[in-house]
Structure 1
């Protein structure tokens, strides 16, 4: 088993701001209308590039597809499906992308869910990649899942009692390796967040006895690359978040609507 641990410092996100943004974005999605499959924003502007192809907007079972630029027809290789829509319970969507390359057909399924819009308690993300690569198919695919306990996150970033478990955890499973990740924040003296990322890599199948050797040969380089990637991500977060948190949820929702409506 190989281990990795690194800590970065992040600009904090206020809880009330985060919750107001979640509610505003859901209001924007629920305020869109549909006519003959075409979507319009709450202010009446058309939403180009996306059409409703099945079900009733925006209820569970509704399926949307992007529009191909060359002929204006729905793209059969991509779709978004509403799995659940309950502001007090769970809201979830699924995105499916198909790659029809004859050499290695693949299907990527990603799902994103949130428990309680008004008072978000938990968020999760799952992904599954399946390939039709014949005998090599199991080595070309895998699954991943992330779970964020928002209650524990806000508790951990406060100055009270810290939770016993990391608020954010995930797993990535491949035929040859399984990676477990935890992310735990704590308050820094200056009010920012000190966020520690830990990962454990376990070999599977015939890769199990080879992992210790790989850790000796490549471990230092891999840990350095991981640390640099986290530092780059933290720098991008710290550069962008301060400007975002100065805007309320309604303003961010309006700016998103402008982006969706296009020029």
Structure 2
């Protein structure tokens, strides 16, 4: 078994801002109108790079595909499916991608669930990947789950008692390893969040014998890499989140919409002078 623990300091996100952002994203999605396979914004502009392939917009069972770069037809190797869309109960989306690169084609599925949009209580992200094409492909397969209890995150971050369970829990399953993670926020003296991440890794199959040896040899370096990765993520968070918090929801919505149309412009080659 291997254990890792590191604490970072993060800029806080007010709960009301987060909840307003969730509502804004739902409002934006619901403002789209389907014109056959094409989705249009309220101002009539077609939404780029996403096509409705099956069902009614935002109804359970609706399936969307990215637009192929070559012929403008749906790319069936990637699918976004609406599993649930109910503001008072649950919003759930699933993304499935197929990789047909021989000799080991892959199938990856990721699902995002949010309980109650009007007052978010729980969020969960889960994923599963499997490969085919040979007996060794099971070693590039696995599954994972990350659960966030929104009802206990902000009280814990404010120091209002200690949660009976960590606000964030995660698991990762692989044929050779199993990892579990917890994330707990506490208040820092300057009003920011002190977030502690703990990870426990256990070996499976023949890796059960190899993991202790690997940690004896590489343990210090592995823990340093773990801490460095979290510090880098915290630096990125602290550089970007305060900028977002200074914007109201209308400005964020406008910037989000415009970013959908600026992608192509950024990749266009410069015109000859």
TM score, norm. by length of structure 1: 0.98
Deviations for 1:92-113, whole angstroms, at most 9, x for unmatched residues? 1000111001211001100111
CA distance in 2 between counterparts of 1:35 and 1:261 reads: 18
Equivalent residues of 1:133, 1:140 under 8 A apart: no
Deviations for 1:150-173, whole angstroms, at most 9, x for unmatched residues? 011011011321212110010010
Instruction: Give the number of the structure with larger relative contact order, counting CA–CA contacts within 8 Å between residues 6 or more apart.
Output: 1
Q: How does 1:115-154 map to 2 (within 5 A)?
A: 115-154=115-154
SS in 1 for 2:72: coil
The equivalent of 1:87 in structure 2 is 87
Equivalent residues of 1:33, 1:41 under 8 A apart: yes
CA distance in 2 between counterparts of 1:114 and 1:125 reads: 9
SS in 2 for 1:260: helix
The equivalent of 1:157 in structure 2 is 157
SS in 1 for 2:65: strand
Equivalent residues of 1:131, 1:137 under 8 A apart: yes
CA apart distance, 1:44: 2.1
Equivalent residues of 1:11, 1:193 under 8 A apart: yes
Equivalent residues of 1:21, 1:250 under 8 A apart: no
CA apart distance, 1:236: 0.5
Deviations for 1:19-74, whole angstroms, at most 9, x for unmatched residues? 00000000001110111110011332210111000011110100000011111111
Q: How does 1:57-206 map to 2 (within 5 A)?
A: 57-206=57-206
SS in 1 for 2:156: helix
SS in 2 for 1:71: coil
CA apart distance, 1:254: 1.7
CA distance in 1 between counterparts of 2:93 and 2:231 reads: 31
Deviations for 1:143-202, whole angstroms, at most 9, x for unmatched residues? 000000001101101132121211001001000000101010000010000000000000
Which consecutive residues of structure 1, in runs of 5 or more, have no partner in the other structure?
A: none
Q: Moved runs in structure 1, 4+ residues, more than 6 A?
A: none
- Alignment root-mean-square deviation, CA: 1.0
